[in-house]
Structure 1
Amino acid sequence: MSRENHKSHSMWPRIINILTVKNPKPEEKLEFKELLEEDDFSATKVVCHGFPYQPTTLAYDPVQSLLAVGTRTGAIRLYGKVGIECHLLYEHDTAINQLLFMVNEGALISVSSDVVHLWNLRQQRPAVLHSLKFKKEKVTYCYVPLKSKWLYVGSKKGNTYIVNVETFEISEYIIYWNRAITTSCSTHPGSVKYIGEKPDDSNKLLIGFELGMLSLWDLKSQQTVVKIQCQLALMSVSWNFDGKTLMCSHPDGTLTTWNINKTKKPIQVKVPHGHVKNWSKTDKCQPCTIVNKVAWVQGKGSEPFIMFTGGVATDRPNRDQCFTIMQGREMTLFEMEDDIIDFTCLYGSPWPNDFEDPFAVAILLENGLAVYDLTLPNYPPYKIPYTINIHESAVTSTQFYSDCPVDLFTCLYSLGKKHKKSGISYSETEWPLKGGTWGESYKDSSLDLVITGHSDGSLRFWDATAIAFQFMFKFSTTKIFDRERVKESSEMDDEPYAIQDIILCMNSRTLVVSGAAGYVILYRFNFKETTAELSVMDVSVADQVSDTGNDCHMPMRADTDTSNILHLAKLRSGPIKQSPGFQADLICRNAQPGSDMENPGSNSILSLCYSSGFGIMAFSNIKGLIIIDTVQKHCVMSVRTVDVYALADNSQLPKTPKPGSFHVRDQSDPDSPVFSGSSHVKAGESPPPSAGLSNGSASPSTPRKMKWSYGGKRVSGKSQSNPSIETDNEDLSLRSRSSSLCSVDREGNNKETVRYLNLLETYARKGDATATASLWIGTSSGSILVIILNLPPTGVERVKQPVIISPSGTALRDKGKIISISIFDRNRRSVEAPTEYWVDEKKTSRKSAIGSHNANDLDDIHIAVICTESQIKIMKLPQQTIISKPKQLEGTSLVKTSLVFVKGKSNLPTLRLLMEGQCFPNTDDRLMKTFSWNKDGQVIFMSSPSEIQKLATIRNECLRTGSYLGSPFVVKDMPEKPSKGLIAMFRQANPEVDRKKLFGTTTERGSRVAKKVTDMGNIDTIQQSSFGVAAMMSKTKEAAIQRGEKLNELSHKVEMMNSKAIDFATSAQMIHHKYKEKHKLF
């Protein structure tokens, strides 16, 4: 994934074929066959989950039973029965102001300010069929009658245009505003706010204008037959099914009911939430808010429903969140959690002159969707079966895992059921939306897991198998912190408990999480509820070198007095009760000087890594690197960034110990173990006095003198030698960093930070014969440093003996910030750190297991893929020789990389560009932080603050997941049209007008107003396809030419060989004849 430098704001994922190219040294050449081609990859958006970002409008198809949501971004979301969601997006679009279903036609009309699109829903992936762009007009309202091929379009200037849906061209029949209002009104009525046919007479069209004018237009006679003038501006209109009365809503909170046969004044005026202040002096009601929309629907055998938004007293709090349902004398007021955007009634009959018989109402909120059951008393809500609550708290990080163990999935689902809230009483009626049809079953697919971290410190687990995205389990990391601090932070904008990094070891069921306040928490899975004090470790990196050296403090109890240690995350005191699931086992906090407390960003964790098999956790902040032994629960090392070079390079280590930057005096044990750090302490226990705490005092222990071992000798951490620097043609330096080089870094690159960490079992030293446990470190300036971890044997010795840090002598230099370091072997297997298997504590203890494979059991070649901001390089281990450097990444900046192994085809690396595609149109930092790959080449990222997009990059995977997608459209018969009574038949003297003859064809006058637009997305697709075909034809032609040239050369060589053969035969014959003559003489 790359970002164009200062030129483009598009994010592009790039698939690069990592194949070896010809090396200058013949002995270093690796022969591999290249089997992957461009056709094997395709960036396809599989599915989008979450709530539509910035919703604007709502629409409903009563026959197909589908609900559509439009947004400001131009995206559309279709909802059907459980499991049916469809995301539509037109790339070249603006905000959608209105959506219209062509009922039971498999078509949807989206209306923007100047563009109208017709979507075809009769295919698995709906697409735009026609587009109409208005040149001089702004569209304000549209209407399409039932079973009609004509679309009525109202404009800001007050004109009404008629569009043929089949051809998407404007008819010559235009209703101008001055003709609609008749000559009695000389002022402009404003924009069109409403268009609708008279329910009992389709030949008459009601047009409502912004300033309160209503005109009933006769299509056949082309004149206004009824005119209604409201005293206030018009907000919305709703017909009664009888076609005789209608209801209007106004800005002052009033609802007026009109009879079309008596238009001088309304037959009824209501102010539902207006209370008269003083009956003796005035009849004026207290001011109310705008009634944005009103719906007047009739149920069979019951009082009609009147529903509207707003209309409450202006001094009422949260007045934009109120929704009212009136039925007879009963009035129910709903106060929502968010502002109301739109609403629509869910009903059965699509015919305008029939009882609507509503059974539910859907309310579109700014950050959610609410559906209420109208068939039960008190209108209980439905439980929404879609994933629309991803953004309850802003998503700050994500992790995507594939091939998850089945037992882990089962545990997460069972935990989620136990933690479900039961405070809300939901309707037991079946979900009202039943549209769409499911795709193929994906029960045999591998289990995929997505973990989202949120700004409130919570973690959510989602089942992301195939096209699903189902909630599994949720827990909060803030339960262990002081409640008052957590409450204060919820009212602030800095989000100190926001999740930054997530690492899940699925085999051992351990979870590591880092927070914005500079803490790292290690969780272990447990089926039982526990109550105990937590193991807490305050660690820090000193700003300057001093005799106190390493500020790596030991674990302590959460209720210990830490007045001399400053940190942002204050823990709860005493034993903490933890529910079954992931339970905190170790908390590491950054303890910083008081000056740093004013800048919480200085505590942020920049990189994090963890290995359950090693029992090691490492993380870095802006100041340095910290390594933690999670088995013994103590700090192995805490060192500044500029001093990390000394740890990696053995050439700068003196032969005799000298006091230096890593030395800390230990009065109790002068012969302390190599890099043993502080003594460990169990949860809930006080540290022993010998470890540095006496009589319960919580002051940091007396620092110990820290040493490391290399070649069997204890040596100081201070550097003295001046190394030589070796470079190659690929600009990747294999350097032995010295104190002089470190001093340069201190003076010229004080802002260098550790940006990448990875625990691996590979060849850490040049020329190693066996793989060793090592920590690979990448810095912001392009340095790659390797530290060897000498781990004690497993079992009792692992708990008692210390972890020893030793330098590897590997110090590499590259260009730009290090993004990632991935290692695999010649058999295309990933080289990773080992992991543990989780087992029930009652049955047996943990045992070591290999996550990918054991590096020691493989051959002597590993391949490292080093990715920086500007380039990707391939290095062969343990020789540490550079194999290839790509040229395709010039001018770009990498931000995310991942190594993907394509199943069924083997390839090792040439770094040939195979695919490039657009992900999302901007470079928002939060979106990039949520970009996560899995091992199958699938990607998830937050395409908006409330939506998560799943992307497939391998073509076979795209085809497989495409078969799982359902279809939003199902062929259905229209419900029976309501039968007309005898009186109604006599009343309808005028038959329905033939629209085709009446509206005619398009004219030049209509083409000046709007123009049909060709689908630019289809043109791009066609152009890309044509470019691909042209390129293929060009390659074929070039290959044919080359083949012809080679054939000519071959023919020439054959002729030469034939000529030489004839000459040879002649010479042989002459020699034979010569010796034959001699034989005759003898």
Structure 2
Amino acid sequence: MQLAVGRDNCHYGFACCPAPVSVRRSARRVMDKAGRKIRAAFEGLQNLWNNNQQIDLQSVETLTPEDFAVSEITCHGFPYQPTCLAYDPVQKLIAIGTQCGAIRILGQPGVNVSIRHPNKSSVIQLQFVFNEGAVISLCSDCCIHMWNIRLKRPEIVHSLRFTREKLTLMYLPFQSSWLYLGTEKGNVHVVSIETFTLSGYVIHWNKAIDMSQKHHPGTVVHLSECPSDDSKLLIGYECGTLVLWDLKDKSVDSRYQCMQRLRSACWHCEGKQFMCALSNGSLMTWTMKKTAEPTDLVIPLSKLDCKSFNSAGAGNSKQAETETAGSQQRVQAASSKQLFYRPIDKVDWCTQRGSEDLVLFSGGTPFLNSERPPCITIMRGKSVSVLEMEHPVITFITLWDTPYITEEQDCSAVAVLLQNDLVAIDLKSEGCLCFENPYSMNIHDSPVTCCTYLSDCPIDLIRALYAIGSKQKKRGYTSKNWPLTGGVWSSSPSSDPELVITGHSDGSVKFWDFSSVSLQILYRLRTAKFFEIDESCVRTDLNLFSITHILLCAASRYLAVSGMAGHIVLFKFNRQESSAEVPIMQIQAFGSPLYHHASPDKSPANPSNSAKTPPCCPSNASANFSSLDSDSCSSLAKPVSYYPVKMKSGPTKRACGYQTDVICLNAWPSLSLPEAISAMALNSAYGLFAYGTDQGLVVVDILQKCCITVLETAELYGTGDATSLRSPKSGGSASLNEKIASFDISDSRQSSEKQDSTTVFTRSNTASSDNAQHSSNKAYVKMSSKSMSLAGGKPPKPSPRERTKCSSDRESLDSPDMGFEEGVCYLEFIENSSRIEQLNGVNLWVGTTYGTVIPVNIKLPEQEQRLDSPVQVTIPGITLTKQCGFILSIGFLDSQCNMLLPPVKFFKELDQENSLAKNRVLRRANTLVTSVDVEGLQSTKSDTLDFSSSSSSSGMEKKEYNVAEQYIVICAERSSRVLSLSNLSTALFNFKYDFPFVQASVVTFNAKPIIAGCFSNGRIGAYSIPSLRPLIDVPFFPPNLHCLETVKFGHQGTGVYMCSPTELLKFAISAHFVQDSKDALGSLYLPCVMPQPPKTNFFKELFNISSLGESCGKPLKNVAQRIPMQTLSAEVSQKKVNTTNEVAKARLALHERGEKLSEVEDRTAALLDSTKSYADHMHEIMLKQKNKKWYQL
């Protein structure tokens, strides 16, 4: 019997009834439960393996928190917002005070010490205690502090705070124990500098002025001692009243009244005359005997040609001299009605041996319609010299040789403190030339926009930069040495060579030698001279030439610099001058169509063969817009891209040093939207350069001078929506060839030789293209998922520009930065070895602003075919998307947690490179940093010039990494992770921060990798790798975002940052380096013999002791309070505790040593007794045997 088989019957003939819904649900629950158990089992095994791996990795960590300590090493640059200036004529030191409470003390070249008040109050005035190793500071909080500068790091030893009156100035006579303090109310107080206590001697304003004067005289603006009689004190009030006070009689000796407000006053060395500087630009001279009217009144700049202040270039030159010789410039009061003058802020009356007296003053220029530069005026007899300055004058001080005011002073120079510079003028040279400033105070000549720090720079690079930069020194300085010779250099050896590179708003790049504690300019590079701004640029608020990023490969001496206009210049070091055409690559705007067709009918049927504009066109190749035929050009409209800057036409002369090698011009999406460069990466061993923007990634071949690929950020995720990690064992790996896009580019120079007169730019239709097709077409390719058809035949994805938002998976990430378009923020070249096949080989790791890390595979041709064959770039489709915030740094480790650095090609001279080009075989291998490598790092970099197939016989050994296990360290704004490249699904270590990182780097410390960074609240942190264990977390930086963005960390625990717009500060997080840096600072104080004094007054010392001491009575209560030393600084207290502990340890060690010495002494005495007894016994034997005959023996 045969059963009928139908659609609704099984092969047995029974009807197939569908299972009930409840049965299907129960079966699904059973399967889900079984699946969860299986996954839990696998996860348990994986966690067990991860835990074992974590234990193994933690065992290699050797760093402890005791190895770390944070301290400032040195500060260089010009003091920010200076306020005052002081000079010690015996020690030859100068001190500068600032508004932020800092004091900079300068001596001979190399002696530069910066100190800061604890409360950061503005410094009003500084006063040296001549030849005593002390400085007294007057601050805006009505406190006076005495600093001990005999220490390598000066400290405050005394402090006194005034509570009732506000202090305005202070005056300390030479070799006097009493400090005079003027107040805002017009009183004068006296303080003993030996005990820092207030004296009962007070000069009240109502006793100093005339009884007929009805108004308050104002604040005290001048205090000085009479050179001929030290018992007379000249007090100047703001209203123009001057009083000569007799300290001994406590009465007024004479009064002088000026018709204008008083700004400054000074004595002649003879003590018979003094000069006043007034607010109407006049100078008034008085004699001690004649008090009714001045002996001389002059407006010094009244008869000068006012046009000289508006001459061309007056505001740009360091000094512009204008002299007039004629009759004495005495004018009547009526002459000032015709023209008004600025106040004379300060005046100084000094002498020169064998010459006429000098009168120096600042200000006093006439009010004109146009702006005039500030100036310093020198009056010598009948001649007037006006020295124009670049910046406003704060104050000045004459540099004399003797501290005695009664002696004729030989003033040879004057130090002028400007708002942004310190100038020393030679008064004895013809034309008053300037001294060349040995300190690095020109960091801010143009505002600093970015900086780069290399703590392990090769010494040969610094020498080469110094040799080239020595030819760039300015001319027009005096031949004399710098007048300040105080302090001594340190005898300790310097640290490793360190290099700091600063970028400026005018497009200049400066190289600084920051080895040890000194900062010296090496070389200056100007990038703006290569470009000119397009006339149609509408962004006048942007400085298009401003430097945004600097990248230096110290081994190969390649330098990459990016500007605000989106342009990038790649420089190559050359000791010889050259003149050649510079290759230019024009990169079009991301997401914009390459060309718009005039009409749809004229477009070719096959889109793969349609003429497209390449994403980049080297200017020296024939592949440009003019190379297209007329038919193609007629059917295409102008590109929508806009380039705000353009290269200057014609060959340019390249001076020795860094010379342009490649220029990349990035187009703006619109006239008002700049295309900013956000990250750069350079690898000389691979010959590749990559940079990222807010919209995508560009990879450039620096050997073939061509662009390899241009990718938008969304295109980095591959053909699919790869928002999570793709397992290599999933089904996607089988169709991996369908999801890999390959991009090839050939040498532009050979393409210009082989192609026809009409060049056609095509896109690749398959994942890999034929080599013959590349040699014939020489295609330039830009990846676009909208216009590229893949091998799998899948429909193309929409363009990223057409996507209104990211995918839901990426939007759900734990990141606070989802409100803007995803861009590239970090790039790193490295050669990886992993169990995941797609990660083996050379990779470019891309970090984005969404916290995503994406690897991009790079396939390099063989070394013999490197200049001929194209470089292939593929996207494996692996994505790490679990970070929090921007990606700040990425590091790589080997199986023993040693840091892996990308390979480099060492620099060779041009003639050596050409001669060895055929025989050289480049070994592309990672550099393994170990403790042995750190010891020989500097010697290798100075001796080795290039990698070769044979291993180096000396210095650091470059090991090829063949072990399969590698780890990746990802540091984001809010978290850090350590993952194995063989298992990217699970993080071995993960750590989240309470505050976001502003800057962070993966660096080495004692040959071990760490994460060092600064948080947004100003704290500095260091974390061990791989366990991410906190090593240090202390407050250090100011909570200023502009300062935190300039923090750069180097290897071995050092770093730099711009602590102000004009200062560069070096710090250390290494306890060993902090201790060694104290010995490298040198000393400010050097014991000197006091100059021979003139005839002294016998009653001077007696008067000082009897008149201003206890005989004056006790001071009033609550006028001034002494600040205890315990409350000055917690650091001082800690130092005392440490000192006490060290003393106790020393005493214990001394006691133990004494006991050991006693034991040694006892043993020595016993040995001496034994020796003596042995000698007596031998003497007895000798006597016994002496008289015996030979036959008796």
TM range (shorter): 0.7 to 0.9
Q: Specify the alignment match of 1:514 in structure 2.
A: 562
Alignment of 1:873-888 (within 5 A): 873-880=977-984, 881-886=986-991
Superposed counterparts of 1:720-799, under 5 Å = 741=809, 751-763=821-833, 767=836, 771-799=840-868
On the 8 A contact 1:870/1:893 being kept in 2, the answer is yes
Whether the 8 Å contact between 2:118 and 2:1128 is mirrored in structure 1 is no
Contact 2:585 2:616 in 1 (8 A): yes
Matches of 1:974 and 1:768 in 2, distance apart?
79
Matched, 1:675 2:743: yes
Distance 1:74 1:271 in 2: 36
Q: Which one is further off, 36-45 or 231-240?
A: 36-45
Counterparts in 2 of 1:319 and 1:112: CA distance versus 1, 3 Å: farther
8 Å contact 1:557–1:683 — kept in the other structure?
Answer: no
- The alpha-carbon deviation at position 479 of structure 1 amounts to 2.2
Give 3-state SS (helix, strand or coil) of 1:909's partner. coil
Deviations 1:927-980 (A, max 9, x none): 333221221221111111111001111111122222111111111121111137
In structure 1, what is the equivalent of residue 587 of structure 2?
539
Q: 2:213 aligns with which of 169, 182, 185?
A: 185
- CA 1:231/1:28 → structure 2, altered by over 3 Å: closer, same or farther? closer
8 Å Cα contact 1:115-1:133 kept in structure 2: yes
Equivalent-residue separation in structure 1 for 2:437 and 2:751 (angstroms): 42
Q: Which stretch shows the higher mean deviation, 742-751 or 234-243? A: 742-751
Q: Structure 1's 185 and 130: CA in aligned 2 closer, same or farther, altered over 3 A?
A: same
2-structure distance, mates of 1:65, 1:792: 64
Distance, in Å, in 1 between the alignment partners of 2:370 and 2:686 is 57
For the structure 1 residues 551 and 172, does the alpha-carbon distance in structure 2 shift closer, same or farther, using more than 3 Å as the test? Answer: farther
Cross-structure match for 1:77: 104
**1:554–1:701 Cα change, 3 Å:** farther
Distance (whole Å) between structure 1 residues aligned to residue 135 and residue 262 of structure 2: 27
Aligned pair 1:361/2:414, yes or no?
Answer: yes
2:1066 to 939, 950, 971: 950
After superposition, the C-alpha distances for 1:437-488 in whole angstroms (9 at most, x for unaligned) are 1112435x321111111111111111111112111111111222127879x9
Amino acid at match of 1:578: R
Alignment-mate amino acid for residue 1009 of structure 1: V
Find the counterpart in structure 2 of residue 436 from structure 1.
487
- Cα separation, 2, equivalents of 1:839 and 1:440: 35
Aligned residues of 1:133 and 1:1011 also touching (Cα < 8 A): yes
Indicate if the aligned counterparts of 1:646 and 1:717 stay in contact, CA closer than 8 A: no
The one-letter code sitting in structure 2 at the alignment partner of 1:501 is H
Q: Residues 1004 and 824 of structure 1: is their aligned pair in 2 closer, same or farther, counting only changes over 3 Å?
A: farther
> Paired residue for 1:203?
231
Compared CA separation, residues 1023 and 766, structure 1 to 2 (3 A): farther
| CA deviation vs aligned residue, 1:331-356 (integer Å, no higher than 9, x gap) | 11101111111100000110121112
Shift of 1:524: 1.4
TM-score for both structures, normalised by structure 1: 0.82
Q: Within the alignment, does 1:404 sit opposite 2:457 as a pair?
A: yes
- CA drift of 1:49 comes to 0.8
Following the alignment from structure 2 to structure 1, what is the Cα–Cα distance between the partners of residues 1031 and 1137? 15
Structure 1 residues 385 and 318, CA gap change in structure 2 (3 angstroms): farther
Measured in 1, the distance between the counterparts of 2:1095 and 2:506 equals: 58
**Which residue does the alignment assign to 2:1033?**
916
**What SS class does the counterpart of residue 807 from structure 1 fall into?**
coil
Does residue 569 (structure 1) correspond to residue 645 (structure 2)? The answer is: yes
> Aligned with 2:284: secondary structure?
strand
Q: How does 1:925-964 map to 2 (within 5 A)?
A: 925=1042, 927-964=1043-1080
Are the aligned partners of 2:967 and 2:979 in contact in 1 as well (CA < 8 Å)? yes
- The 1:1019–1:129 alpha-carbon spacing in structure 2 relative to 1, beyond 3 Å, is same
Please provide the CA RMSD for this pair.
Answer: 3.9
On the 8 A contact 2:84/2:394 being kept in 1, the answer is yes
Which amino acid is the alignment partner of residue 409 of structure 2? E
Q: Secondary structure at the match of 1:910?
A: coil
Partner of 1:1044: none
Matched pairs, number: 959
What SS does structure 2 have at the residue aligned with 1:109? strand
| Pairing 1:259–2:287 present | yes
Question: How many Å apart are 1:760 and its aligned residue?
Answer: 1.4
Shift of 1:429: 1.8
Determine which of 497, 510, 514 is the counterpart of 1:464: 514
Instruction: Supply the distance in 2 between the matched residues of 1:617 and 1:225 (Cα, whole angstroms).
Output: 80
Counterpart CA distance in 2 for 1:282 and 1:1025 is 65
State the distance in 2 between where 1:652 and 1:605 align. Answer: 37
Distance 1:106 1:876, change over 3 A: same
Counterpart-to-counterpart distance in 2, 1:441 and 1:493? 49
Kept in 2: contact 1:54–1:71 (CA 8 A):
yes
2:703 to 631, 649, 660: 631
Contact 1:395/1:453, CA 8 A, preserved across alignment: yes
Q: Which amino acid aligns with 2:530?
A: I
User: What is the letter of the counterpart of residue 1085 of structure 2?
Assistant: F
CA contact (8 A) 1:169 1:1002 kept: no
CA contact (8 A) 1:198 1:205 kept: yes
Deviation at 1:561, TM superposition (A): 7.0
Corresponding position: 1:26 with 2:52: yes
Corresponding position of 2:1165: none
Superposed CA deviations along residues 797-822 of structure 1, whole A, max 9, x for unmatched, are: 45323323241534342222211111
8 Å Cα contact 2:711-2:784 kept in structure 1 = no
**Residue of structure 2 equivalent to 1:272:** 300
Q: Distance in 2 between matches of 1:930 and 1:682?
A: 43
Asked if 1:802 corresponds to 2:871, the answer is: yes
Counterpart Cα distance in 2 of 1:705 and 1:162: 80
Distance change in 2, residues 1:1002/1:771 (3 Å): farther
In structure 2, how many angstroms separate the alpha carbons of the residues matched to 1:769 and 1:657? Answer: 9
CA contact (8 A) 1:50 1:388 kept: yes
The percent identity for this pair of structures is: 31
State how far apart, in whole Å, the 1-side matches of 2:1040 and 2:397 are.
Answer: 36
Which deviates more, 398-407 or 614-623? 398-407
What SS does the corresponding residue of 1:400 show, helix, strand or coil?
A: strand
User: How is 1:559-598 mapped onto 2 (pairs within 5 angstroms)?
Assistant: 564=639, 565-593=641-669, 596-598=670-672
Per-residue CA deviations over 1:836-893 (Å, capped at 9, x if unaligned) read 1221232223653556247852533323221111122222332334222235x22444
Tell me if 1:556 matches 2:619.
yes
Q: Which amino acid in the other structure matches residue 71 of structure 2?
A: T
Cα deviations by residue, 1:534-571 (Å, 9 ceiling, x for unpaired)? 21111235337998999622323499779634212211
Query: 1:685 & 1:529 partners in 2: Cα distance?
Result: 28
Work out the CA distance in 2 between the residues paired with 1:1008 and 1:223. 26
Q: CA deviation at 1:362?
A: 0.7
Q: Which amino acid aligns with 1:754?
A: V
Shift of 1:301: 3.1
> Rg bigger for which structure?
2
Partner of 1:644: 716
Q: Which residue matches 1:298?
A: 351
Cα distance in structure 2, aligned partners of 1:800 and 1:702: 12
1:241 is aligned, of 257, 266, 269, to 269
In structure 2, the residue matched to 1:37 is: 64
Residues 1:212 and 1:1021: Cα distance change in structure 2 (over 3 Å):
same
SS in 2 for 1:382: coil
Aligned with 2:760 (options 682, 692, 698): 692
> In the alignment, which of 501, 515, 526 is matched to residue 451 of structure 1?
501
Deviations 1:1050-1077 (A, max 9, x none): xxxxxxxxxxxxxxxxxxxxxxxxxxxx
Distance 1:1027 1:470 in 2: 38
- Give structure 1 stretches of 5+ with no counterpart: 1-20, 664-673, 695-699, 722-736, 1032-1082
Task: Find the aligned partners of 1:657 and 1:820 in 2 and give their Cα distance.
Answer: 29
SS in 2 for 1:950: strand
AA aligned to 2:1104 is D
CA 1:77–1:93 in 2, change beyond 3 Å: closer, same or farther? same
Q: TM-score, normalised by structure 2?
A: 0.74
